[in-house]
Amino acid sequence: MDPISVFGLVSQIADLLMRALEYGKAVRDAHGDMAKLYSELLGLKGALEQLLKLSVPDPSATADPSIGAVLQSTEFRDTLISTRQIVKRLMENLNKKQTSSRRANAFLWPWVKDEVKSDIQDLERVKSVFTMMRSEERRVGKECRSR
């Protein structure tokens, strides 16, 4: 796993969170969808940050060759690629309908109901995969330390 690419993705998600929050405040009748989307983005960001901590271990810790196997897996790479695509799609969707007028933005929610539900489900899916990977990585690490 390339920690720099994960860090870049975390930074993109943080930027998306701030922009989406600001946008959601200006848009009428979008608070429920915005809250769900915001919650999933925060959860995804947290899961990625935890994986980043695992990938860059404490220098004083004893190196364990089995740590990192999950983070080097094809499933992890595929999920990371999928996450980048989701974040890119969310950013593009947020950008495409924004104007310079706060008043105009209040009427331009960038998602239709089905799209926002789909985006939330996609975020839930990748967040779950990263959370499972983090749990597996911790389990493997504990098993190796107990040997």
Higher pLDDT, 44 or 144: 44
The per-residue pLDDT for range 114-131, each reduced to its tens digit, is 777 888 899 999 999 888
Cα 126 off chain centre by: 8
Quick check: 112 pLDDT over 60?
yes
Mean pLDDT, to the nearest integer, of 96-105? Answer: 58
User: Residues 6 or more apart from 83 whose CB is under 8 A from it?
Assistant: 9, 44, 48, 126, 130
pLDDT of the residue at 83: 93
The Cα–Cα gap between 51 and 1 comes to: 10
Prediction pTM value: 0.65
The Cα–Cα gap between 64 and 74 comes to: 20
Identify the band that residue 62 occupies on the pLDDT scale cut at 50, 70 and 90.
very low
User: Tokens at residue 34, please?
Assistant: 């915005």
